[in-house]
Amino acid sequence: MNRSPHVAVVGATGAVGIEMIKTLEKRNFPVGKLTLLASARSVGKKLKFRGHDITVRELTKKSFTGIDIALFSAGGNISREFAPIAAKNGCIVIDNSSAFRMDDNVPLVIPEINAADVKRHEGIIANPNCTTAVTLMALYPLHQAFKVKRIFASSYQAVSGTGAKAIEELERQVEQVVKKQPVTKHVYPHQIAFNVLPHVDSFLPSGYTREEMKMENEGRKIMHLPAFRASVTCVRVPVYRAHSVAVSAEFEKPVTVAAAREALNKAPGLDVIDDPTKNEYPQPLHAAEKYNCAIGRIRLDCALDNGLAFWVSGDQLLKGAALNAVQIAEELLS
């Protein structure tokens, strides 16, 4: 791998694409050259990188000649079409969509958990689902200490997980409600302002949504734990940025809060914010734009044997997407 690689960001003008560009700069990733790719309608837009304007170019089948690493965040259909073309051109793709996550030949990586899996790539590496990433940052250190069997969880997912149009929708609806105007909706099937929707992604015949099943399926692959089980309800909440998850986890070994804290305090990429006497616990408002996820409300679960309940918040545009992708790129260079 070239020590100052030529990097492309596919979907550069989207919410995650913009975070990828910022993260490459903030982490001093040794970009030799940066190419920004997007659909025809974004061509000609200029985005800043290291103080210079870079013009967005159209994504085509010929875009990947000479590119070493491509960070994809343009949706599953674009990834399915263009990632294999990029890989054939000798480019390593780090894909943020769900297109390849469960493919046996594609590593699914959270660097703090399974960085070694990067080495097995055949040209494509997958980034996990944002809610899975935030949850596993807290769950995995506990798994290492106590061996997790299953979890029950509810997510509290920010609208930015849906994209820029959803942020606009929440802003517009809040204003409409405050001004007592009729509420208009385009992105979600129901009003999201001052409401919560137990509906993220599309429904499956089982009654779970695709998003809810990602936690179990991706969790098994990332933690190398085929027997892991997760019953999840994913909820969209009127928060702009950062997801939170309430988790009840059951372990094989006996758990104590003190031992849990010890494991969590040592965990990379995780802050313990947990002092109920001072009303201190993770909040999405404070997790936004931070690299680390935060865990709190740590307590023995009163309904499970060897159970621990906790609350975790994390920026889904960063650890759930852009930051994790750049960390994978860092692993490729190390």
Q: For residue 1, tell me if it sits in a domain.
A: no
Q: For the chain, how big is the Rg over CA atoms in Å? A: 20
Q: For residue 149, tell me if it sits in a domain.
A: yes
d(CA 303, CA 249): 10
The chain-wide mean pLDDT, for the chain, equals: 97
Q: For residue 190, tell me if it sits in a domain.
A: yes
Average pLDDT of span 3-15: 95
CB 296 within 8 A of CB 273: yes
With pLDDT > 70 as the criterion, what percentage of the chain qualifies? 100
Q: For residue 209, tell me if it sits in a domain.
A: yes
Largest CA distance in the chain: 59
How many domains does the chain divide into?
A: 2
Residues 68 and 201 in one domain: no
pLDDT of 1 higher than 80: no
Residues 41 and 55 in one domain: yes
- Fill in the DSSP letter of residue 69: E
Assign 41 a pLDDT band (cuts: 50, 70, 90): very high
Residue 110, CB-side half-sphere exposure with 13 Å CA sphere: 32
> Phi and psi of 82, rounded to 5°?
-100, -25
Residue range(s) defining the domain that contains residue 247: 132-316
Q: Give the per-residue pLDDT at 183.
A: 98
Q: For residue 170, tell me if it sits in a domain.
A: yes
pLDDT of 319 higher than 80: yes
Residues 65 and 155 in one domain: no
Residue type, 186: H
Residues 116 and 146 in one domain: no
Residues 49 and 73 in one domain: yes
Assign 163 a pLDDT band (cuts: 50, 70, 90): confident
Residue 100's domain is classified under what CATH number? 3.40.50.720
Residues 234 and 104 in one domain: no
Q: For residue 13, tell me if it sits in a domain.
A: yes
Q: How far is CA 317 from the centre of its chain?
A: 6
52 labelled catalytic: no
CB 33 within 8 A of CB 7: yes
CB 236 within 8 A of CB 157: yes
Q: 116-147 in b/e burial notation, b at 16+ Cβ within 10 A?
A: ebbeebebbbbbbbbbbbbbbbbbbbbbebbe
Residue 211's domain is classified under what CATH number? 3.30.360.10
Residues 151 and 121 in one domain: no
Residues 21 and 117 in one domain: yes
CB 193 within 8 A of CB 113: no
Residues 150 and 259 in one domain: yes
Residues 277 and 328 in one domain: no
Q: At what angle do helices 257-265 and 130-146 cross, to 10 degrees?
A: 120
The single residue of 6, 91, 121, 130 carrying the catalytic annotation is: 130
pLDDT tens for 244-298 read 999 999 999 999 999 999 999 999 999 999 999 999 999 999 999 999 999 999 9
The single residue of 121, 234, 243, 293 carrying the catalytic annotation is: 243
Residues 150 and 260 in one domain: yes
Assign 2 a pLDDT band (cuts: 50, 70, 90): confident
pLDDT tens for 198-249 read 999 999 999 999 999 999 999 999 999 999 999 999 999 999 999 999 999 9
Residue 254 neighbours by CB distance under 10 Å = 9
Residues 183 and 118 in one domain: no
Distances (CA, A) of 240 to 18, 72, 157, 243: 16, 23, 9, 9
CB 146 within 8 A of CB 306: yes
Q: For residue 99, tell me if it sits in a domain.
A: yes
293 labelled catalytic: no
Average pLDDT of span 108-127: 98
